[in-house]
Amino acid sequence: MPLDPTPRVPEVPEAVSARALLTVSGADRPGVTARLFTALAGGAPAVEVLDVEQVVVHGQLVLGVVVGALAGEDAVDERALLQHLGRLAADVSADVGVRVDVEAATAGPVAVPAGRPHHVILLGRPVAPEAVAGAARSIAAVGGNIDAIRRLSDYPVTSFELTVSGAEATALRTALASVAATTGTDIAVEQVGLARRSKRLIVLDVDSTLVRGEVIDELAARAGRAAEVARITAAAMNGELDFAESLRKRVAVLAGLPAEVLDEVREALVLTPGARTLIRTLQRLGFRCGIVSGGFTQITDPLAESLGLDFAAANTLEVIDGRLTGGLVGEIVDRPGKARALARFAAQYGIPLDQTVAVGDGANDLDMLNTAGLGIAFNAKPFVREQAHTALNQPYLDAVLQVLGFTRDEVLDAS
C-alpha cells in the first residue's frame, strides 16, 4: 500500500507558445532599445518578453531578445509570429539604423548545467589572445560553458571576467593553472554568489606585499650582515625553515644597532604600486583594512597610522638604552600567529571569516591565506601560489580589486 493513497491526477504538459529570437547589432546610440520594445508592445499578435541580454563593445551594440506569443483563444503558430516580427524588425532597422535579425527560438526546456557557476578572471598587461583561447579550451575540456564575458579593467592591468557554468571548481582551477603558467596571465576562479561581494575585511602582509622589499634585510644591511640574513629570509619565505626560529636568528644579528635605524628604514619604505588605491577604494566601500606582519611594530604601527588602517599586528623588537638587544618582546607573530590575528580582528568587528580577504607572499602567510574567505598569493613563492585560493603575479596591488569583481569604473567612483 502506498504511503500516500491520495489519488493523483496525471500532470498535463503546459502548451508551449511559439517563440522567436531577435538579435540587434550595430552602432550603439540612445533610443535603440526603447524603439525595439516599443515596437514589440504594439500590434498583434501580442508577445511576452522571456529573456534579454545586451552588451556594448567599443560602441557596437549586440542585443538579444527572446519573445513568445501570449496564449489566447487564437493560438499563434511559429510562422505567423516570425512574419509579424520580420515586419517589425524591418521598421526598427530603418528607424534607428541597426540590423535586426529574427529567427525561431527553441521552445523546449533549457538544460541547467550541473554544479554552481564560477567566475574566471583573466588579468595581464597585456592579456594575449592565446591566454583567452587557452582558457576557453580548458573550460570546455572540463565540461564548462562560458555564459558571459565582461571587461573589468583596462588599467593598471587589463582584466576580463568569464561567467562559467557546468564545471567543478577543482577541475576548473587545475585546468586553468597550466594556461596561466604557459601564457603568463593570472587566472583566478571564484564561485558565483553573494559571498563574493559580501567581503568586508582585508588583511595585508607588509614585507614584499604592502611595501617593496623586506624590512629585516634593510636592518641587517645596517648591521653589516645583509647576505647572511637574506639567505635566512629566503629560506623562511620558501617554507624551508620554521619562521619563528628563523626570525630569532635574524633578529639576533641586529644586537647593538641604535634604535634610530628603525626610523631610517621606515622613512625609506616604498609602497607597492596600487597599495594606496586598494586601501582607499576598499575603505570607501566599507571594508575594514589592516596589516598582519611577521615584521616589527616599530615599523608597522606608524605605517598603519599613516595609511589610516583599522588594525595592525606584528612583532616587537626589544630596545634597551636606545639600542636593539637582538631579542623580541611578547608573543611572536609567526605563521599560526598571523591566522590567529586575522580571526581576532574579524571577531573584533563582528565579521565572519568567510567575509574576509588575506593577501600575502610568503610561507608564513599560508595559514592566514587559508583561514580567510579568500586568500590571495601576491607575487608569491611557488610553494605559496600552489596552496592559496588564487594568485596574482602583477606588480600592482590594486589588481586585488578585480579579483574581488570590482570594475575600473567602480574603482574610479569610489576614489
Residues annotated as part of the active site: 205, 207
Look at strands 356-360 and 201-204 and give their pairing. Answer: parallel
Per the structure block, which three cell numbers stand in for 188? 583566478
Alpha helices (runs of H) in 308-359, residue ranges in sequence order: 335-348
**Cis-peptide into 5, omega within 30 deg:** no
Q: Is 384 exposed, middle or buried (0-12, 13-18, 19+ CB in 10 A)?
A: buried
Answer yes or no: are the C-beta atoms of 298 and 307 closer than 8 Å. Answer: no
- Amino acid at position 231, single letter: R
Answer yes or no: are the C-beta atoms of 63 and 32 closer than 8 Å. Answer: yes
10 Å Cβ neighbour count for 99? 11
- Strand partners of residue 390: 376
The number of C-alpha atoms within 13 Å of 298 and in the hemisphere containing its C-beta is 17
